[in-house]
Amino acid sequence: MTASDQIKDTVTSHDVVLFMKGTKTMPQCGFSSRVAGVLNFMGVDYTDVNVLADDQIRQGIKDYSDWPTIPQLYVKGEFVGGCDIITEMTLSGELDTLLTQHDIAFDKAAADKIREANG
């Protein structure tokens, strides 16, 4: 199985996937930590893929999405964005809307707290 096949299988078989440096419990870069922190705080059930554990996946995800940086968030098989985009979507409420549209459970009160703290 190629890296691209493996990535496609992962993003299509899980509702929410975060390709990141490290894991959801031990992020290994600030950008990955920020996105994982938002998802963790909001109680989103997601699959984490540590790109540092596999060089083929690390490069493969950049090729797959045609996006040069990590982390990368996927919802229902669709690429959503990296750290800056997820941060903006969280603060604007767009992430809430996206998760709701796809029937992904999350803690709305926690999302509101993030916005209050950064407003």
Residues annotated in a binding site for [2Fe-2S] cluster: 29
Kindly write down the DSSP assignment for every residue of the chain, as one continuous string. --HHHHHHHHHHHSSEEEEESB-SSSBSSHHHHHHHHHHHHTT---EEEEGGG-HHHHHHHHHHHT--SS-EEEETTEEEE-HHHHHHHHHHTHHHHHHHHTT----HHHHHHHHHHH-
Annotated binding site: 29
